[in-house]
Amino acid sequence: MSKVTVIGAGNVGATCVNALAFKEVADEVVVLDVKEGISEGKAIDMSQTAQLLEFDTTVVGCTNDYAKTAGSDVIVITSGIPRKPGMTREELIGVNAGIVKNVAGNALKHSPNAILVVISNPMDTMTYLALKSLGLPKNRIIGMGGALDSSRFKYYLSQALGCNANEVEGIVIGGHGDTTMIPLVRLAAYKGIRVTELLSKEKLEEVVKATMTGGATLTGLLGTSAWYAPGAAGALVVESIIHNRRKLIPCSAALEGEYGESDICIGVPVIVGKNGIEKIVDLNLNAEEKALFAKSAAAVRTTNAVLKEINVL
Ligand X SMILES: NC(=O)c1ccc[n+]([C@@H]2O[C@H](COP(=O)([O-])OP(=O)(O)OC[C@H]3O[C@@H](n4cnc5c(N)ncnc54)[C@H](O)[C@@H]3O)[C@@H](O)[C@H]2O)c1
Active site residues: 176
Sheet containing 193-194: order of strands? 168-169, 189-190, 193-194
**Contact between 148 and ligand X per CB under 6 A:** yes
**Contact between 92 and ligand X per CB under 6 A:** yes
Span interacting with ligand X, options 7-15, 239-247, 280-288, 300-308, rule CB under 6 A = 7-15
- Cis, peptide link before residue 122, omega less than 30° from 0: yes
**Contact between 68 and ligand X per CB under 6 A:** no
Q: Please pick, from the candidates 104, 176, 190, 235, the single residue that binds ligand X as defined by CB under 6 A.
A: 176
Number of residues that bind ligand X (CB under 6 A): 36
Closer residue to ligand X (CB): 46 or 195: 46
Q: Please pick, from the candidates 3, 42, 68, 83, the single residue that binds ligand X as defined by CB under 6 A.
A: 83
Closer residue to ligand X (CB): 66 or 259: 66
**Contact between 10 and ligand X per CB under 6 A:** yes
Please choose, from the candidates 75, 102, 49, the residue with its C-alpha nearest in 3D space to the C-alpha of residue 237: 75
With CB atoms as reference, the residue minimizing the distance to ligand X is 10
Q: How far apart are CA 170 and CA 285, in angstroms?
A: 14
Q: How many CB atoms lie within 10 A of CB 71?
A: 14
Q: Please pick, from the candidates 4, 28, 30, 82, the single residue that binds ligand X as defined by CB under 6 A.
A: 82
**Contact between 59 and ligand X per CB under 6 A:** no
Distances (CA, A) of 46 to 15, 107, 149, 222, 278: 10, 23, 27, 23, 32
Q: How far apart are CA 130 and CA 276, in angstroms?
A: 14
**x/- letters, 21..40, toward ligand X (CB under 6 A):** ------------xxx--x--
Q: How far apart are CA 186 and CA 100, in angstroms?
A: 35
Closer residue to ligand X (CB): 161 or 277: 277
Q: Please pick, from the candidates 8, 61, 170, 267, the single residue that binds ligand X as defined by CB under 6 A.
A: 8
> At 92, phi and psi to the nearest 5?
-85, -5
Residue 82: strand, helix, or coil: coil
Q: Please pick, from the candidates 46, 75, 103, 212, the single residue that binds ligand X as defined by CB under 6 A.
A: 103
Closer residue to ligand X (CB): 47 or 224: 224
Q: DSSP characters for 31-77?
A: EEESSTTHHHHHHHHHHTTHHHHT---EEEEEES-GGGGTT-SEEEE
Binders of ligand X in range 193-252 (CB under 6 A): 224-227, 230
**Contact between 300 and ligand X per CB under 6 A:** no
Q: Please pick, from the candidates 96, 158, 211, 304, the single residue that binds ligand X as defined by CB under 6 A.
A: 96
Q: CA 304, 307, 312, 313 torsion: positive or negative?
A: positive
Residue ranges binding ligand X (CB under 6 A):
7-13, 33-35, 38, 78-83, 89, 92, 96, 99, 102-103, 119-121, 123, 144-145, 148, 176, 224-227, 230
